[in-house]
Amino acid sequence: MADIFSVEKSQLRRLMTLCRHLQPKTGTPMSQLMAKGKASRRTIYRDFVSLKEFGIKVELCQGGYYIRQSTAKCKQMFVDSLRKSLDKLIASCM
């Protein structure tokens, strides 16, 4: 899992925006993801890698890109990652 402390606030906001717009049945075209995330194609692809590190796999279908998780599940995965990172940080300080 990704270390959430290494993810900037703007990137985390963009990742959550992507999670909201990656439609599970129809897919979302790259052009729409770029517009919603206010980012370049290259940045969106980097964000796909970051999502994968959080355990959220982005898949491709005929209509575009999608994820199987709901937005609520994505949020929970981010929270779980943050909790694990905090636990590691606290353990290293003891």
- Name all domains of the chain by residue range, CATH numbers in brackets: 4-93 (1.10.10.10)
pTM, entire model: 0.77
Whole-number Å distance between alpha carbons of 65 and 2: 21
pLDDT in tens, 10-26: 888 888 889 889 977 78
Q: By the 8 A CB rule, do 92 and 85 touch?
A: no
Place of tokens 């003891």: 94
pLDDT tens, position by position, 43-73: 999 999 989 988 889 999 988 999 988 878 8
